[in-house]
A and B are shown apart, each in its own frame.
Chain A
Amino acid sequence: MKQKPSLRLDIQEQTALVLLQGSWVKERIAALCKTDIPIAPSRTIQSYTFDFSSIADFDTHGIMLILHFAKTLEKRGQTVVFQGESPSMQQLLHICDTHYPVEEIEEKKGIFVLDSLENVGRQSVEGYRTLASFFSFTGELTHACVAAVLKPLSIRWKATLYHIEQSGAGAIPIILLTSFLIGIVIAYQGATQLEKFGANIFIVEMVTISSVRELAPLLTAIVVAGRSASSYSAQIGVMKITDEVDAMRSMGFSPWDFLVLPRLFALIVSLPLLVFFADIVSVFGGMVIASTKLDVSFVEFIDRIKQTVALKHLVIGFIKAPIFGAIIATIGCFRGFQIDSSTESVGKYTTISVVNAIFWVIAVDALISVLLTEMGL
């Protein structure tokens, strides 16, 4: 039933009859769209008459193509007349003609050098703006924090506990596993080296100090950054998209008290607790390897810890934990508030938030490490 659409040209001196035949529907017209118009330009013909009477089927795409042909002819300075349309076709023709895109659709073609320069500029300005808004965010956060601490009853304890459960307690299994493995790795690599010059017992200092002072807090923070920075950004971002944040503001509920502070306090509280578990498990991992590879028994290991490992290492590890927690929560929430109304930005800022959180945790750790060592601690 659906015949190929075609044009038949019937030329008489100065006028030409264009007989349109077949189905002018989107599935069939592709072959006719190859050129601007399948009618060769002619100087002698002044007017074309499009005859619609033998069209079998049509849709807006077909009509548009016919209109395109007519307009191309008109641009060449020839007149075009339509005849033989059915009433419904006439109506559709009228609609399509009224809405035919008049302006030439121009495609932007950029010059590579200019485009890349523009990009550099755009990125710099954006970076500057992000920095400025981050400072403004931390400023407001500090203000909200101080206000909350001065009035502890205003803190949303229930929400805070919920986030401690989600971000803290929920992270215990994966943190236990990774810390145990890290303890094993340090002890194993250390054991092969120490064994060479018979300094087996030093495995205790090696595992314990590196774990409790550096690796356990860092690893915990990285795991929590991966879990919680992303989830905070996504939660807050989606709340922004669904206008929940605006609804909150307009009802006089401060998003700081309801969204940011519970998350911030939750991580500040739960990170030291997580680090405590991580410390125990990573040292235990080291003990297992020490007893199997180096014949340092559990009892010897623990005795040696008491004798030689200063308490300050443990304390330093614990002091760093809440700082990491604050960094993760602040970045997670800040990036969440940057999410705008497109679904794409949820993905973008969630990714950025995790990358930023991990980077700043490591950077601050490095800073503290150098600082404290220089101070002789």
Chain B
Amino acid sequence: MIVKLTNNQIAWRAAQDIQDGAYVNLGIGFPEKVAQYQPPGREAIFHTENGILNFGEPPPKDEEDWDLINAGKKAVTLKPGAAFFHHADSFAMVRGGHLDVAILGAYEVAESGDLANWSTGPNGVPAVGGAMDLVHGARRVAVITDHVTKDGKPKLLRRCTLPLTGVGCVTRVYTSLAVIDIEGGRFVMREKLPALSLDDLQSVTGAELLVTGTVADLIVPEL
């Protein structure tokens, strides 16, 4: 029985790759956790689609200002050097290639870098928000996700089966078991949990995992 990483640990690992001074957009929900694990001495500037750069922690309860929210409509605070802007400028930052990294959740990721993270099919009310814009702007588009679905099915696939958010857009995937890059239309191994063999990992992955060099141990603190 392999102990997989918790969501906090996946978020921690993703945070280690964010450089000092980077402009970063975190998808709503799970990816928001990445902000909590910035390495000491590094300061990233967080962007939210609804028009704030350099927002910070949520305020204490009952001190919320509902004109100061993030894309998930949660109350936030401002850090020194924050800025407000309208939606067209906000998405100019996104599509114009001004963000260093976007970190998003995923239903499925394909070895081609295709991402499905906005629709689980024709039932219910469809909602896309800013996901389709974010995948086509940031210099790096990373995904954080459990390695498999709740039913144990692979989320890393040869081709996505769900409606796409974007084509060929993901560059790195941080999962509960491994860190995998997407290069030349292939999943390339970078790190894996030390207790896990490559065969174990391949057996829960829906496309071939390529090993082109050393596969480092994926080691994270207890969180």
The judgment on whether A and B are partners is no
Q: Which residues of A contact B (CB under 8 A)?
A: none
